[in-house]
């Protein structure tokens, strides 16, 4: 059965390669990017192998919460149901780490934007749907003051690692709060240091074959073995589900992160 699958950050790297793999399996793919030229190029690549009827493209800057809201709205206009959301878009190293709202862009793009997008898309996601959040092997305790923009994080890796733990925390928290009434929520490290633009620019290395990540994302999206794994974290470096970071297992800490994200969004009137 054809599934409708949204993949954010799918104009290159693991996002685009996963879109290729899924569209070749006959699924309808909704791709997203923030650069119109790259988005059009990705759309052309996918339609050349699957046809126009299987690909849609959506332009949005996930560092802007208004764009995230409009993205969700645009998708809802076109679709009454989504089967899979893969929150893949991410930022590691950037010359402008602070947004116009005074927030660290790693927290905004890697943590807050996927939270908001998922919340807005929940009415389209049935109990058999899945939300797959790309986390990382790099996870560090979340500085709440940094999350709200009161403290600037000087180290790129620290900011990235904190944002990825925060993402994993709200993934687990949302799975628990919605239980059987919501979709399956999964966090995944698709593989450390894959050959993506982020790794090349951030670490100055070629990286490992992105097919490692494509394979696990495709499995998480489609395979029945993951249908009862909501709230868990899959570490593809070891090829299995592993115990969550201790902070993610502390309900009070996870709830604090969720509430802070909601407060940030409320302050931005979204």
- Which residues are catalytically annotated? 160
Are 196 and 86 contacting, i.e. CB atoms less than 8 angstroms apart? no
CA atoms of 48 and 51, how far apart (whole Å):
6
State the sign of the Cα–Cα–Cα–Cα dihedral 39, 41, 46, 52: positive
CA atoms of 220 and 227, how far apart (whole Å):
9
Are 139 and 168 contacting, i.e. CB atoms less than 8 angstroms apart? yes
Backbone angles phi, psi at 188, to 5 degrees: -145, 135
Q: How many CB atoms lie within 10 A of CB 240?
A: 8
Q: Where are the alpha helices (DSSP H) in the chain?
A: 13-24, 36-50, 65-78, 105-107, 113-121, 144-147, 156-178, 197-203, 211-222, 246-249, 251-267
Are 30 and 7 contacting, i.e. CB atoms less than 8 angstroms apart? yes
Q: How many CB atoms lie within 10 A of CB 132?
A: 27
């Amino acid at each position: 059965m054809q599934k409708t699958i949204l993949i954010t950050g799918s104009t290159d790297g693991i996002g685009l390669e996963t879109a290729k793999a899924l569209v070749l399996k006959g699924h309808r793919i909704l791709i997203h990017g923030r650069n119109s030229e790259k988005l059009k190029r990705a759309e052309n690549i996918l339609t050349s192998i699957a046809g126009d009827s299987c690909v849609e493209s959506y332009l949005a800057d996930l560092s802007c919460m208004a764009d995230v809201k409009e993205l969700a709205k645009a998708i809802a206009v076109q679709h009454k149901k989504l089967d899979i959301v893969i929150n893949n878009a991410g930022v590691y190293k950037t010359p402008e780490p602070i947004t116009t709202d005074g927030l660290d862009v790693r927290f905004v793009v890697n943590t807050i934007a996927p939270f908001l997008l998922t919340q807005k898309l929940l009415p389209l996601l049935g109990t058999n749907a899945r939300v797959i959040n790309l986390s990382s092997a790099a996870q560090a305790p979340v500085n709440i003051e940094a999350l709200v923009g009161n403290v600037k994080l000087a180290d790129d890796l620290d900011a990235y690692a904190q944002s990825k733990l925060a993402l994993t925390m709200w993934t687990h928290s949302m799975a628990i709060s919605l239980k059987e009434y919501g979709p399956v929520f999964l966090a995944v490290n698709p593989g450390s240091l894959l050959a993506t633009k982020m790794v090349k620019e951030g670490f100055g290395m070629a990286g490992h074959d992105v097919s490692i990540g494509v394979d696990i994302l495709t499995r998480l999206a489609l395979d029945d073995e993951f249908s009862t794994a909501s709230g868990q974290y899959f570490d593809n470096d070891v090829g299995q589900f592993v115990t969550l970071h201790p902070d993610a297992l502390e309900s009070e800490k996870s709830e604090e992160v969720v509430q802070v994200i909601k407060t940030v969004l409320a302050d931005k009137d979204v």
